[in-house]
Chains A and B, each alone.
Chain A
Amino acid sequence: MKGTNLGEFEEIVMLTIASLSQQAYSVTICDEIERITGRSVKLGVVHSVLNRLESKGMIGSHLGDPTAERGGRRKRFFEVSNTGKAALIAAKSQRDQLWNSIPDVVFNGLK
């Protein structure tokens, strides 16, 4: 089913949200992804991914309090929902399983 599997970028965004805990809104998410992965991320792309994840129920959002920055406009903070958390854990366990089944020789000397 389409809803349960996460895309690579979706996963990264969700993990970033989780790692930023209370401070996750579009701009910080962008910055964090850029910092970690080193690739430049368009705000519009992040927005559209956030929107998609929200409609899938993976993440939730609420508007913060207005501040002096951004011309008084509120930020929309994101957090990973329980469904999202389950999906992330599922993804991680899939990966771990795969990692565990790889014989040592394959990555010998690379790790």
Chain B
Amino acid sequence: MMRQKPPKWADRLLKWYCKPERLEDLQGDLIEYFERNLQTKGPWFAQISYVLEVFYFMRLYAFRKFKPQGTMYSIHLLANYWKTSIRNIARNKLFSTINIVGLGISMSVGIVMIVFLAELLSYDKFHRNGDHIYRLVNTHWDHQQGESRFASTSALAGYKLMDSHSAIRDVVLFRKYFKGIISWQEKSLAINGLYASENFFSLFSFDLLKGDPNTALKNPNSLVITESFAKKMFGEENPLGQMVSIQSQYMDQAVIAGVVADPPLHSHIQFNSLVSFSTFENKVKANDDIASMFHWNNMWMYHVYFRLADEASEGDVQKFLDEMSAEQNEGNEYVKINLGLQKLGDIIPGDIENNSIGPYVSKKLVLTLLLLTGLVLLAASFNYTNLSVARALGRAREVGVRKVLGATKAHIFTQFIFEALILTLLATCLAFCIFYFVRDQWLQMGFFSRNLATLDFQIEYLVPLVAFALIMGTLSGFLPSFLLARTRVLQVLKNKIPARFSSGPGVQIFLIVFQYVLSIAFIIGATISYKQFIYTTTYDLGFATENILTVNLWGNDADLVKKGFSEVPEIGRVSASGILLSTGEQWGEHLKYEDPHDSIIVYLNTVDEHYIDLYDIPLLAGSNFRHTTKDSEVQQVMVNEKLLERFDLGTPTEAVGKRLKVEGNQAVEIVGVIPNIQYATVESETEPFLLKYQNEDYQVIGLKINSPDLPVVIEKLEKAWDNIDPIHPFTAHFYQDRISETYKRYYEQMKMVGFLAFLSIVIAAMGMLGMAVYTTESRMKEVSIRKVLGASAQQLVVLLSSRFIWMILAASLIAVPATYFVFEQMVLRDHVHRITIGLFDLTIGTIIPLFICVIIISWQVRRIARTNPSDTLRDE
């Protein structure tokens, strides 16, 4: 039987920490005990108690003195490292350039992300009680559409919160979309903002420059304007206390009760003006609209914020909210609304996109961006690792000499990490230049340009930047430093090549394959995104949009504007409508047929009698709207086929003349049936919807332009507009552009992935160039001999490139299925109308790197081919 021995690792640990002069007898004692335990208590007990004793001996008296490392790195040594590193960087110009440029480009993306992230994290941090401020959020469940979360809530919830719970302080109610025209003396300006309740200034830390924070938003018809708006409106005069007249939905005059500093950019609540909530409240009371305006289900326009008392817990309030929700939802089987809490700090970046009050960035987007950037950075750092490991042989002798002269492993490791750090530092400088150079390009990407971030580099970002550079340097330099530190002196000084340097180690293959997996995935991703973007923007919507200009009405009378525009001779048909279809806007109303309990939310658009002619919408049955006045009792609607199916209205011809009931039990008559044209965006299926002839609630006008000379027409239109409404700007866009704007997300996604694809290809190509140069140089003799023996240039290309080609193919084996899976299962899954991913999309990602690889290798081979073999082989 083998003799039992104490565990080796415990022995090694003891040896490591113990004073050398103490080690012998300590270890002897332990072994004596071990053997004794072995006989009396068995091997298990002996082993365990040995380990325990080793740990038990870890006491001050037993510890050896560890040499403090710092003193060993004298300034002279560092100076020497500096000199060696600089010389090496200068000597290997190609490799240094590849590394600095590759790292620089990818680190510039890293800097953008650092700044972007820092800005996002600074959102809403200026509120003094920010940690205690919460917002009410709603989870809306409905039997048709399931569950979704909204940043808005009902006014009722806000009221109920106000004086019901002791932990809840300073409740502030908002209502969105205050819009109007403000006039003072001779001047008129368009104004928009929020209705806000009186606690606004005690809850939030927006800076009220003039006025009393306690009463500014208390009385009805009080208006608080921002500093910049005050300057525009009143110039140098004191706005405080001025009476202004306002054309808006809920008031016709107001008194300026305060001037507030412009909201900081990094605030998710943005406004030009604030109107006291009581203005709206009073008007609603006067109109007897309270039941509908403050109904539990009316949760689309209101936002509620409050402060939680210091000693209160979220759980208590949540319990209170749950009870309130349960009470309010009782009896309603179709819609259930549950209240929840959201911390102010969780709003940006956040996870509730619907009905956000201001700018919004999702956590998902931020994480995705960070992940992609991280991958590109990794790819660039792998270049350094790879090239350095490949060239480590050249440094091995230097390391050998250093070791002979007394350098320890730690010294060598530090030296090469130091070198990597210097290189990264140079790359960081380059990255910083690139960052400033392309900052504007970044800002044009949608997620920055929605007034979300400035990408201004603040001095305090230097700390994360330096940390970032250090991490990059250490990451890139770790493996080569580690390998070089392990160099065996005797081997390298005897000219024996250490085995791990000569043949490419597995790690190196892994790194290269990783880079190509990334490149291939990005290329495929960009291709698919591009195709989807083109597909979506050119999708057949079922109605005509060519040469149709859309003009915002800004609340003007539609007939007046239509008349004004019709006088321009180049204009064909003109039609007013509530919204523009297929651009993401949706209006909804409850609709019933015969069964009073079967109601659905139906989408609609309010249109005039020219609508279907202008947009070329075919009629399946029935006729166009008859022109009527506003007061006619039965409204006319056109419905789509989906709606016929939903309510079993029979064939289109049968459906014409039937009556439906909309909100408030008003009857509407079907005058026509249209096909299922694309009401919502192409991302979703067409739902039942109707076109309602209403003669009011128009927001936008569509005009057919029959002239190729656009600038002239637009100028004429602008003149016509200014005659009608001198206050609001003439805002016109082509319908097509509006649609493209809606799908800008795809465009941005495509641009982003495309940019990263380009980056990763550049990085991979540079890495390939470095490796190719290295391979050809180190195989110079072999190639020369082959040439002498009659190998052709093609054969040499095949010889030298076959390894790379295999690696690219291996990478594509990983990348192609992975990307396919990601796009099929995650990105494209929610799209109803989507492209099918084809063979071309999947292969293009492999073909491009292969192509680049062959070009680079051929270039290198031609370089060798031109040298005379006798020059290389002369010494043999």
Which residues of A approach B to under 8 Å, CB–CB? 25-27, 42-44, 47-48, 51-52, 63, 69-71, 73-76
Contact = CB atoms under 8 A, between A and B. Distances in A.
A43 B62 contact: no
Interface of B: 24-33, 35, 53, 56-57, 59, 61-62
A76 B33 CA distance: 15
A70 B59 contact: no
Given A48-B61, A73-B31, A26 B56 contact: no
A76 B21 CA distance: 11
A75 B28 CA distance: 7
Given A52-B61, A69-B32, A70-B28, 7 more contacts: A25-B29, A27-B32, A43-B56, A70-B29, A73-B28, A73-B31, A75-B28
B358 to A, nearest CB: 65
Contacts of B29: 25-27, 43, 47, 70
Contacts of A48: 59, 61
Given A27-B33, A43-B53, A44-B53, A73 B25 contact: yes
B25 A63 contact: yes
Given A42-B56, A43-B33, A26 B61 contact: no
14 contacts: A25-B25, A27-B29, A27-B32, A51-B61, A51-B62, A63-B25, A69-B32, A70-B28, A70-B32, A71-B31, A73-B25, A74-B28, A75-B25, A76-B24
Contacts of B31: 70-71, 73
A76 B32 CA distance: 13
Contacts of A42: 56
B5 to A, nearest CB: 9
A53 B57 CA distance: 17
6 tightest A-B CB contacts, nearest first: A73-B28, A76-B25, A44-B56, A70-B28, A51-B61, A70-B31
A52 B60 CA distance: 11
A45 B26 CA distance: 12
Secondary structure at the A interface, as helix, strand, loop or mixed, is helix
Contacts of B27: 71, 73
B28 A71 contact: yes
A42 B27 CA distance: 15
B25 A74 contact: yes
Contacts of A25: 25, 29
Contacts of A51: 61-62
B3 to A, nearest CB: 10
A79 B9 CA distance: 34
Contact of A44 (B24, B28, B57): B57
Contacts of A26: 25, 29
A8 B103 CA distance: 67
B34 to A, nearest CB: 10
A70 B27 CA distance: 8
B6 to A, nearest CB: 10
A73 B56 contact: no
A27 B31 CA distance: 11
A73 B24 contact: yes
Contacts of B26: 47
Nearest to A45: B56
A26 B53 CA distance: 14
B424 to A, nearest CB: 47
B483 to A, nearest CB: 36
A25 B32 CA distance: 12
Contacts of B35: 69
A47 B32 contact: no
A100 B31 CA distance: 46
Most buried by B among A25, A51, A69, A71: A71
A69 B25 CA distance: 12
A43 B28 CA distance: 12
Contact of B24 (A52, A69, A74): A74
A55 B32 CA distance: 25
Contacts of B56: 42-44
Nearest to B61: A51
Contacts of B30: 43
Nearest to B24: A73
B60 to A, nearest CB: 9
A67 B498 CA distance: 43
Nearest to A70: B28
A34 to B, nearest CB: 13
A76 B62 CA distance: 14
A44 to B, nearest CB: 4
Contacts of A44: 53, 56-57, 59
Contacts of A63: 24-25
A47 B56 CA distance: 11
A84 B27 CA distance: 27
A27 B34 CA distance: 12
Contacts of B33: 27, 43
Nearest to A51: B61
A51 B60 CA distance: 10
Contacts of A74: 24-25, 28
A26 B26 CA distance: 9
A52 B26 CA distance: 15
B416 to A, nearest CB: 40
A52 B28 CA distance: 20
A68 to B, nearest CB: 12
Nearest to B49: A43
B114 to A, nearest CB: 50
A86 to B, nearest CB: 24
Most buried by A among B26, B32, B56, B57: B32
A52 to B, nearest CB: 8
Nearest to A61: B25
B62 to A, nearest CB: 7
Nearest to B30: A43
A77 to B, nearest CB: 9
A9 to B, nearest CB: 15
Nearest to B57: A44
A12 B53 CA distance: 22
A89 B446 CA distance: 90
